[in-house]
Structures are given as structure tokens and as C-alpha cells.
């Protein structure tokens, strides 16, 4: 079974609008961390935001926020006020409490148009 599922291969959003990128996860470990990374066309992997399973509040980092719904096992990334530079691949990832490695989803390609 997939540990991390990103069901949207591609998304389009108009500049200045908000967009939500979906991520669901599967774990039986009560302790885990969820991560989002951005990969622009240049290829580097850029860390965006982190949510711990015990965090009481949704994580936010500037225009990025994480809509964490623990019961539904979802950790959607919300990008507010989209910019053309937000066009990239976005990856959701999880680390389970007893493990060291990050498992990545298949990614969502976001395209922001003027």
C-alpha cells in the first residue's frame, strides 16, 4: 500500500489565487512527521513546511500553510496568493516515528498562469 498518496498529477491556478495540493498518508504509528518540498524546473529540492503528528495547530510558513486533518490522514498544502514562481513540482513526504527515512509521494505539478 502507498504510504503517501498525491492524487493530482497536475494543477492549474491563476496568479494571486489560492490553491490546495492534496496529500493523504497511511501509517499506524502515532508519531510521524509530514513534509512538503518544491522542485522547480531547475531540479533542486526545496523544503517548504513541516507538520508533526502531535502539533496542535496547522503549520504555516509565509504563503504556505498545511491543512492537517489527522482523522482523515490528510496533509494538504495551501499556497495563498499564487505567484508565477510557484510553478513547480510539489512533493509530500512522511517520516514515521521509529524510522529515519522520508517516503515521498509521486508529486503534483502546479502551473500558475497570469
Partner 1 sequence: DAGVIQSPRHEVTEMGQEVTLRCKPISGHDYLFWYRQTMMRGLELLIYFNNNVPIDDSGMPEDRFSAKMPNASFSTLKIQPSEPRDSAVYFCATVGAGTGELFFGEGSRLTVL
Q: Quick one: which of 12, 47, 54, 113 contacts partner 1 (CB under 8 A)?
A: 47
The piece of 13-21, 45-53, 60-68, 70-78 that touches partner 1 (CB under 8 A) is: 45-53
**What is the smallest separation between the CB atom of 16 and partner 1, expressed in angstroms?**
28
41 phi-psi bin (left φ>0, alpha ψ -120 to 50, beta other): alpha
End-to-end CA distance of the chain: 38
Q: Quick one: which of 53, 86, 88, 107 contacts partner 1 (CB under 8 A)?
A: 107
Q: Which of 77, 75, 74 is nearest to 110 (CA)?
A: 77
Q: Select 79 or 107, whichever has its Cβ closest to partner 1.
A: 107
Q: Which three cell numbers mark 42?
A: 531547475
Q: Is 109 in the site for partner 1 (CB under 8 A)?
A: no
Amino acid at each position: 500500500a502507498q504510504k503517501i498518496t498525491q492524487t493530482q498529477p497536475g494543477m492549474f491556478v491563476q496568479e494571486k489565487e489560492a490553491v490546495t495540493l492534496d496529500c493523504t498518508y497511511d501509517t499506524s504509528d502515532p508519531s510521524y512527521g509530514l513534509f512538503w518540498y518544491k522542485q522547480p524546473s531547475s531540479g533542486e529540492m526545496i523544503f517548504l513546511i513541516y507538520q508533526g503528528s502531535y502539533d496542535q495547530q496547522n503549520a504555516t510558513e509565509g504563503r504556505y500553510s498545511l491543512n492537517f486533518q489527522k482523522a482523515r490522514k490528510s496533509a494538504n498544502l495551501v499556497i495563498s496568493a499564487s505567484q508565477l514562481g510557484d510553478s513547480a513540482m510539489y512533493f509530500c513526504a512522511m517520516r514515521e516515528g521509529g524510522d529515519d527515512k522520508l517516503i515521498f509521494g509521486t508529486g503534483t505539478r502546479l502551473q500558475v498562469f497570469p
